[in-house]
């Protein structure tokens, strides 16, 4: 009797080592544990045995039955069998490569146009004090932009209260650079700025600007016009024109706001209601930046002799330039991190 059990176990082991697939394992289950299996045949021998034999043989038979069913289960779950389900010839999933955000790309484009003219890139800090953000830029104490409704002041310890702020423009970089370097200098400085504005399609509490300035003995307004026209034609299209409108900024004198001929409709002034360009509203021009000759007070605040040196400066919004160039109508799209939007500008 015991011999029968041993032979059956050997047979099972041999069969198991030959079985690879799940189907083969299922067939083994039927063969060894099924109703018509050899194991069941052995069970049917029990009634004919003596009492003593019955208990020993019955016990051993059950042990073998459990062993077989355990081994079959193990084999079904074994890692090798799982591996069989993995098709190694299946093409791998493509790795998603990262790409530059459109604003970073445009920032680099702008900087490289000015680098081509000999400007150096300098990044300022986002936390400034009142001196660099306002006073040194000739912005008087009562100027509305200093109001808490227009600038984020940092609430630090009592003694520093109101002293530090999140810069509201990139112009403080002018002060930082001009205070530490002797002219000639030509710098282009991109970065984030902060204003407590209500967020809508054209406003955000944080956005990016780029500041540019050049200081030397013989700098005049035509250098400014030449640099900006070169920039506009490199950045938008060689066909665009610029229009300088007199304006006021505390830190430049004279100052101007600059419009670019509309890059969407080509500057055609079309005022018939249903054909009016949605970007320039039929005016043919779109405002893109502020600029001017650096105010003597600003040069002096930085320790530069304003009788000897002159300089020009300009500042522009990177989101605004990007929206114009690519026909984007909502500033919030830049910050939502929606890949469906961002992927369109993958370069």
Residues at the site binding ligand DAH, with contacts judged by CB under 6 A: 169, 171, 211, 249, 252, 290-292, 313-315
The nearest distance, CB 168 to ligand DAH, in angstroms, is 7
Which one, 211 or 319, has the nearer CB to ligand DAH?
Answer: 211
Q: Return all residues near 250 (Cβ < 8 A) that are at least 6 apart.
A: 137, 138, 139, 140, 143, 295
Q: End-to-end CA distance of the chain, in Å?
A: 79
The nearest distance, CB 238 to ligand DAH, in angstroms, is 25
Which one, 191 or 290, has the nearer CB to ligand DAH?
Answer: 290
Which one, 265 or 316, has the nearer CB to ligand DAH?
Answer: 316
Q: Return all residues near 151 (Cβ < 8 A) that are at least 6 apart.
A: 133, 145, 165, 166, 168, 195, 196
Nearest residue to the partner ligand DAH, using Cβ: 315
Residue owning tokens 């890949």: 339
Residue owning tokens 């999933």: 93
Helical (H) or strand (E) element with 275:
none
Helix axes of 51-77 and 22-33: crossing angle, nearest 10 degrees: 170
The nearest distance, CB 86 to ligand DAH, in angstroms, is 58
The nearest distance, CB 340 to ligand DAH, in angstroms, is 32
Which one, 64 or 214, has the nearer CB to ligand DAH?
Answer: 214
Work out the number of other CB atoms within 10 angstroms of the CB of residue 87.
7
79 Rama class: left (phi>0) / alpha (psi -120 to 50) / beta = alpha
Which one, 12 or 235, has the nearer CB to ligand DAH?
Answer: 235
The nearest distance, CB 313 to ligand DAH, in angstroms, is 4
């Amino acid at each position: 009797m015991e011999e029968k059990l041993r032979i059956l176990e050997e047979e099972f082991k041999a069969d198991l080592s030959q079985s690879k697939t799940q189907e083969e394992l299922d067939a083994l289950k039927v063969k060894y544990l099924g109703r018509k299996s050899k194991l069941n045949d052995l069970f049917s021998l029990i009634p004919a045995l003596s009492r003593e034999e019955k208990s020993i043989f019955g016990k051993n038979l059950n042990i073998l039955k459990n062993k077989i069913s355990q081994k079959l289960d193990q084999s079904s779950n074994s890692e090798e069998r799982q591996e069989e389900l993995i098709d190694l010839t299946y093409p791998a999933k493509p790795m998603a490569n990262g790409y530059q955000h459109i604003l970073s790309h445009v920032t680099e484009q702008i900087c490289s146009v000015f680098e081509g003219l000999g400007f150096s890139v300098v990044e300022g800090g986002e936390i400034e004090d009142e001196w660099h953000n306002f006073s040194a830029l000739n912005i008087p104490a009562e100027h509305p932009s200093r109001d808490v409704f227009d600038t984020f002041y940092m609430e630090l310890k009592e003694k520093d209260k109101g002293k530090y702020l999140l810069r509201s423009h990139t112009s403080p970089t002018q002060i930082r650079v001009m205070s530490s370097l002797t002219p000639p200098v030509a710098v282009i400085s991109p970065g984030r700025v902060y204003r407590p504005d209500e967020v809508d399609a054209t406003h955000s509490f944080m956005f990016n600007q780029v500041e540019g300035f050049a200081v030397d003995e013989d700098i005049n307004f035509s250098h400014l016009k030449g640099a900006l026209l070169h920039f506009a034609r490199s950045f938008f299209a060689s066909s665009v024109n610029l229009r300088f409108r007199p304006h006021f900024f505390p830190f430049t004198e004279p100052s101007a706001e600059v419009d670019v001929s509309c890059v969407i409709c080509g500057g055609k002034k079309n005022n018939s209601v249903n054909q009016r360009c949605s970007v320039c509203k039929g005016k043919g021009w779109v405002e893109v930046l502020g600029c001017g000759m650096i105010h003597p007070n600003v040069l002096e605040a930085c320790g530069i002799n304003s009788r000897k040196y002159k300089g020009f400066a300009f500042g522009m919004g990177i989101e605004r330039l990007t929206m114009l160039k690519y026909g984007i109508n909502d500033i919030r799209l830049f910050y939502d991190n929606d890949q469906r939007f961002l992927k369109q500008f993958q370069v």
